[in-house]
Structures are given as C-alpha cells and as structure tokens.
Amino acid sequence: MALIKPRNYRNLLGSVENTEKAIKHVKDMFQENLSAQLALLRVTAPMVVLEGTGINDDLNSVERPVSFPIKDLGERRAEVVHSLAKWKRLKLAEMGVEPGRGIYTDMNALRPDEELDNIHSIYVDQWDWEKVIAREDRNIGFLKKTVRRIYESIKVTENKLYVEFPQIAPALPEDIYFIHAQELLDRYPGLTAKERENAVVKEHGAVFVMGIGRELSNGEPHDGRAADYDDWSSPNSDGYYGLNGDILLWNPLLESAFEVSSMGIRVDEKALRRQLAARGQEWKSELYFHRKLLAGELPCTIGGGIGQSRLCMFLLRKAHIGEIQSSIWPDAMREECHAAGIELV
C-alpha cells in the first residue's frame, strides 16, 4: 500500500457537512451535463449477475468477483458486478434504442482484489454509460468527439462548482490532449507506463490515452483490458490500433496522472473473435453474451465508466478517496491519514 500524504493538507470546504453538500452538488450537476451531452436516459442497473453467463466485466481478466449461492435458484451462484460493460449492451438491445441515444446508470461494485491507496477502494461507484452508434461510426474521429463531450461535462461541472464554493478555483485546461499509447512509448521509451502517463499529463493537464490493451512495440500493453468489451485491436485512421482509452487529469495534490474514466467503442463480431483468440479465450464464444454478439443480435455501441468518487475527489481537491466514500481501510492507513489531516469517512 502506497499512501501519499500531501504536505500541509487541509479540507478546503472546512467541514464534513460542507463536503457532503459539495459531493451532492458535483454528482447532480455532472450526471445532468453528461446526459445532455450524450443523449442518455437514466436506467436502473443490477448489483449482481449470474455466474457463467459472461455478463460480468472481467476487467483485466485476473480480478476475483464476490460470489455467493442463491437458495431459490438451486444454489446457482451469482456474482457482484465489477462493472456493467456487457449488461448495458444487452439492455440497449432489449430496449430497442436507436443510434444516437443511450443509457447511463449508477453502478455500485465490489472489487476485493484492489490494492488500497489514495485512489483505490474495494467499493467502486461509477456512472456507467452506453450509447448505440451506427456501424460506420466505429472510428477514431467519433471516439474523440465523444471524449470531448465528456470532458466538456467535467469542465462545466467544475465551473458551476466554483459559483457555489469559490474557494475551489477552476484548474482544468480548455482542451483535452489526445495521444496513442504507442506514441507515448515512442516519446518516453525509458519510462514505465505510469511514468509516461505522469509526464504527458503533467505537461497538458488533461489527456486521453488511446489504444489500451493491445501489445505495443515493447511487447507489453500500456495497461490491461479484457478481450470482450473495448475494441483495442482494430486499425484506425491515425495509423495505430485501438478505439478505446482513458481520460487522465493532472492531480497536483497527488502529483500524478489521475484516471477518471475508462471508455471506448465496443467490439463488433470481428474484433471479438480477434481479441478472444489473442488472449487464448475462444471458449468464451459459447457464453450467453458472446453468443448474442457473434450472432449479430447486439447493437454497435460506445461506452464506459466515469468514477463518481474519483471525480468528486478531483473536483473537491481531496487527497484520499476515503474522504468521499465510506469504505473499509486498514487501521494503519486510517491512523496515518488522521495524522496528516486527511479525515476518512
């Protein structure tokens, strides 16, 4: 566990009560802005899905889901969701949503394998969103346009927050910078992936790193991605591969790049087969979600998750995600945080 304790840290909002008011302010404003920017309808989402259907998100394909048997289903096991990447696509097909419109939801997940630190908790809360697109919109230009709309929602929220809480001045740059993970490696060949992110985000303030999941020229992916939701293997018009990425903001308190969203254009039938083969997971093609996708029964979509506690933490200038959400932390971490003026909920 690596705990960052900013020197002379203090709560700019002055009290827990003001912090709670500001959290609600950010959440209400951002989801309203996001819904308007992307034409999204709020829907209710599950906390659990059945094991063995392929609906749960595999994340990096190594994290263990929380699972349990259900008495009235003959002890069939269910899993607490990691995220809703696949469920949302099934929901859009069920609703018959037309291209240009989509859904978003409050997603609450448990990820017990997270390494706990300033920005990672076993409890994950996101605005999970998904939008139906035309097949011809599966391109890098459409991806960038969508990223800019999300970034605009963040900036509008930051500016409105300043009106209510003037002690928190806006700090985000006017525009978000785009770079492919391979370009980033070429620019900083001697640095690790995290160090490369820190270098480029410190320079530009807000960055979208594209093409995450496919192996780069050094034989390693920039970061892990499951094979069956984001499309990280299709060629794009920039001469690189991948139609996905992460939104990263520079966090001066933590002095590091700060991920607030992972998103992308989702796999189509060809990309799914290609990526399952690349990961040696062809067996997944027999699972419920994968069968429907390969049969052409699911729409083309773009989607992602935007961390609720993460975004509040960034906009409210908090040093630890535990100042935003109530979760479980080691006693030693709680003691260290208290001594540093960081009061965990």
| Kind of pairing between the strands at 206-210 and 177-180 | parallel
Chain centroid, CA 124 distance in Å: 10
The backbone region for 248, taken as left when phi is positive above 0, alpha when psi lies in -120 to 50, beta otherwise, is beta
- Residues annotated as catalytic are 57, 111, 126, 246, 259, 262
